[in-house]
Structure 1
Amino acid sequence: MNQLTMAIEEEAPAARFTFPRGLVIPVLLVAAWELVFSVGGFQSDSLAPPSRVALALARGLANGEILRATGQTLSAAMIGLAIAGVIGLIMGIFRGLFWRLDYVLDVTTEALRPIPSSALIPVMILIFGFGYRLESACVAFSCTWTIFILARTAVMGVEPRLLEVAKVLQLGLMDRTFKIILPAALPRIFVAFRLAAGLSLIVAVTCEVTANPLGMGFEMMSASQSLRPELTLAYLVWIGFIGWFLNAILVYAQHRFFGPAASVGAVR
């Protein structure tokens, strides 16, 4: 028995830590950046070495300043994403099912879709004022089109034989939608929500930088105007981390719930 155990242990590969290859270039760039300041004696009022940026980030997290701003940004972004999810999904399903309706509304869609959310901020301020409603409205407008287009494509890409089965079974519109179309299109619809989630963070921060006095974008602009480059860059690093972490969670959920079907039409 002991010999068998020893043989299995010899054949089993030892667990070894491998450094993620994707971090090689960022680590080298950060190290070179630090060396320019510490060894090269470089001085700047608009940049700060990574060590000071890391210290500012740690202080901001410890005193709750960065976490409070993060909560404000994510709250507005998620509210806008939820609104966009409902509107975009309904539009995508109906226009994917009824090609005549899609044809009639195509010109209107293509006229509204290219409008950047930043161009709508002055109009949104007149309607909603400042605060969460302004930011959520901008996020909802931008994310609706992403969810709508990919949901429509997913519905149109449903296997025709499944729709023939629905006709044979004489399923109504609601039963056909919830029992046949949505389950078949759900993996690709989830990809739409993944892309829209990343876009919601981008639009929310942009809105805060340009107009809305709350959240991470506003705090980053305030730090910049106060000539605090280390805090400005700390917010920039933190925003990038939040975006990466959000996408990582959604990628895990996508593969966890959809399995091999998650790779169909997936975008990393």
Structure 2
Amino acid sequence: MSPARVLKSGWRAALLPVVLIILAQVAATVTKLESDSLASPIDIASAFVTVMGDGTLLRATVDTLTAAATGCLLGVGVGSLLGIVLGLFRIADDALDLTIELLRPVPVVALIPVVMMLLGVGTEMEVVIVALGMLWPSVVLARAAVKDMEPRLLEVSAVLQLGFAARVRKIVLPAILPQLFVSLKLAAGYALVVAVTVEITANPLGLGYGIMMAQQALRPAEMFAYLIWIGAVGWVISLLVNAAQRTFFPAFVTGEDR
């Protein structure tokens, strides 16, 4: 995509948010908005500058991204390995299929009380919750990727009498790596959502906790500043992951990501 086309597309994408911001500011000015639940765009911008200037927002961002990234990598790594095992060994797949289908629909937020009882509050608890949220989707995607492999590749590994580790390293991983990256791509954005949710409901750290503190202190401008910042962080993560996909796996880039 040419720079001119990127610029033109960017202007089109920014048009609606800019119009909404202007309309919101006009409405707040005309009505002389004074509310414990709403704030004007100017007040939100002022609150953003304040929390960014005193370091509060940056510290919260580091806490959230650390937990989200660690949990994402852990969940995707363990889930992908388990999915590969299930894809390669029919006996293991049959033995664990019912267990996976029973556990997979359980909302990850429902596990927060259980993990809190085991680990208490803190970063470790948040990492475990995020990892559990990433685990089952990664299992399903990796298992499907292995089952969709060219059968002759596995026949080659059998002829070469490769052990499990060698078969995974030399045959399976090179064949399914693009699909595993898609799994990581999907998990990256979801991990941020889970991390913020945990912080809002249970963990006194990070961006989610900042939202809760602003809400309880009746500072709506600060609350909306946190919300907008979370959206911006998620957008940047999406851009970085899409850029990595275009670089390393261009054949798997969809039209909307180009």
Q: Which residue of 2 aligns with 1:89?
A: 80
Distance 1:104 1:19, change over 3 A: closer
Aligned partner of 1:148: which letter? V
Number of residue pairs matched by the alignment = 255
Q: Which moved more, 1:25-34 or 1:209-218?
A: 25-34
CA–CA separation in structure 2 for the residues paired with 1:126 and 1:22: 45
**Structure 2 partner of 1:255:** 246
For residues 55 and 188 of structure 1, what CA distance do their matches in structure 2 show?
A: 43
Matched ranges for 1:81-230 at <5 A: 81-230=72-221
Q: Which runs of 5+ in 1 are unaligned?
A: 1-12
Highest Rg: 1 or 2?
1
Residue 179 of structure 1, CA deviation: 1.4
Residues 91-148 of structure 1 deviation map (CA, whole Å, 9 limit, x = unaligned): 0110111123112211101111111122111111110011011111111111111211
C-alpha distance in structure 2 between counterparts of 1:110 and 1:14, whole Å? 46
Q: What root-mean-square deviation, in Å, do the aligned CA atoms of Structure 1 and Structure 2 show?
A: 2.3
- What is the percent sequence identity of the aligned residues? 45
Which of 7, 12, 18 is residue 8 of structure 2 equivalent to? 18
Query: Secondary structure at 1:177's aligned position in 2?
Result: helix
Displacement after TM superposition at 1:267 (Å): 8.4
Give the corresponding residue for 1:234.
225
TM-score (norm 1): 0.88
Question: What are the superposed Cα offsets for residues 208-233 of structure 1, whole Å, 9 maximum, x if unpaired?
Answer: 10111111101110001100000000
Q: Secondary structure at the match of 1:60?
A: helix
Distance (whole Å) between structure 2 residues aligned to residue 99 and residue 30 of structure 1? 56
Q: CA deviation at 1:80?
A: 1.4
Structure 2: which amino acid aligns with 1:88?
A: G
**Residues 191 and 267 in structure 1, CA contact (< 8 A), matched pair in contact too:** no
Give the deviation of 1:173 after TM superposition.
2.7
The alpha carbon displacement at 1:161 in A equals: 3.0
- The 2-side partners of 1:192 and 1:155 are apart by 13
Query: What TM-score does the superposition give when structure 2 sets the normalisation length?
Result: 0.91
Among 21, 24, 32, the residue aligned to 1:30? 21
Structure 2 gaps of 5+ residues are none
